[in-house]
Structure 1
């Protein structure tokens, strides 16, 4: 995807999200996409894919948590018990479907990175890791993430070390449910 296509994508996303009153989500998506691209230049052959995945990772913010189960079912998305308990997590799968069906993103690697940007998964790629980490560094809350310094030190070692650092932090703090993909990714990263 050339730069002009990426600028066009940026404009389409802005229109899509501002029409749904989700301007803050738009700003977060662009921040994650741009950071993922910079990170991707260090770790990926095609860093533009990280930018595209980052731009679209939270596109499903148009659906509030209380609608996500119904939306996912209408889209034919299979749900885990943990997703039914905490519908917020479903947004990664819905974002993948919107990227595919509304934005015509067909690259399986990009779709994978969108689909697991919150939980990661056992069979992750470097692109999955880049988008996962970029989302944690450029989080959508105010202030700096409490784990940021530790994560950046781990990132100097490897993508895997950074992902492990974040998940380890999460598991030792206030986590509501442990998604099966997160558990599987954690166990794989632990033995990396």
Structure 2
């Protein structure tokens, strides 16, 4: 199936976007290895996460409505934000992807979703941190974090994205903030658990 998807992408996205997509596929697989996730599912979701990236706004809105998705005022004003949901529709209808975990990871790669799976987290993070995104100290630090704690990587990449959106005065979808807060809370809880276990080992 990968060859079919690549052929479709070659006809529907420009070369720089294809490089990004391949980078997300590669990093999602790498993160799957670090966190004990299904590498094949990570690869599929990474490869197909941007299938609808270059669909026209009215096409995105039309397909989302036909699917019965809820379209709030922010999505109405910024249909591009629907490309993740619509990419999952294309993956299902064009390439017969039926695995709910893969479709969910595609669907959540842009805005995220509180309580999303670790596979979703891996693709969400890979979308922001794959190699072609840049080679700054900040990005490299987040890449290192992503190999150790996916929840921390989700909130840190969310903060990174929110900073850009605020600086450029763009609208922010509430799901981005909810995802950030959820991941921050889980990261803190995970850190407390690790510290508690370390203290037990010291006192034992």
* Fold shared per TM-score above 0.5: yes
Alignment partner of 1:168 out of 159, 165, 172:
159
Answer with 172-181 or 109-118: which moved more.
172-181
Name the structure 2 match of 1:155. Answer: 146
Alpha-carbon deviation of 1:122? 0.5
Tell me, in whole angstroms, the C-alpha distance in 2 between the residues paired with 1:130 and 1:85.
28
Q: Which residue of 1 aligns with 2:39?
A: 47
**Partner residue in 2 for 1:89:** 81
User: What does the per-residue CA deviation read over 1:74-111, in whole Å, with 9 as the maximum and x for residues that have no partner?
Assistant: 44332222211222211000001001111111111111
Aligned CA RMSD, in angstroms, stands at 2.2
Aligned equivalents of 2:57 and 2:132: distance in 1?
A: 16
Structure whose residues are more often helix by fraction: 2
Change (3 A) 1:121 1:21: closer
Do the aligned partners of residues 156 and 54 (structure 1) sit closer, same or farther apart at CA in structure 2, a change above 3 Å counting?
closer
The alignment of Structure 1 onto Structure 2 pairs a total of residues equal to 183
Deviation at 1:22, TM superposition (A): 3.4
Q: Deviations over 1:154-191 (max 9, x none)?
A: 32540011111111222233342222321221121222
Gapped regions of structure 1 (runs ≥ 5): 1-8
SS state at 2:95 partner? coil
Q: Which residue of the partner structure matches residue 134 of structure 1? A: 126
Distance 1:94 1:34, change over 3 A: same
The residue correspondences of 1:1-192 to structure 2 (distance < 5 A) are 9-20=1-12, 22-65=14-57, 67-138=59-130, 143-144=134-135, 147-175=138-166, 176-192=170-186
Distance in 2, matches of 1:11 and 1:23, equals: 16
CA distance in structure 2 between the aligned counterparts of 1:26 and 1:35, rounded to whole angstroms:
14
Cα distance change on mapping 1:145 and 1:111 into 2, 3 Å: farther
Of residues 74-83 and 124-133 in structure 1, the stretch that sits farther from structure 2 once superposed is 74-83
Normalised TM-score (structure 2): 0.79
Structure index of larger Rg:
2
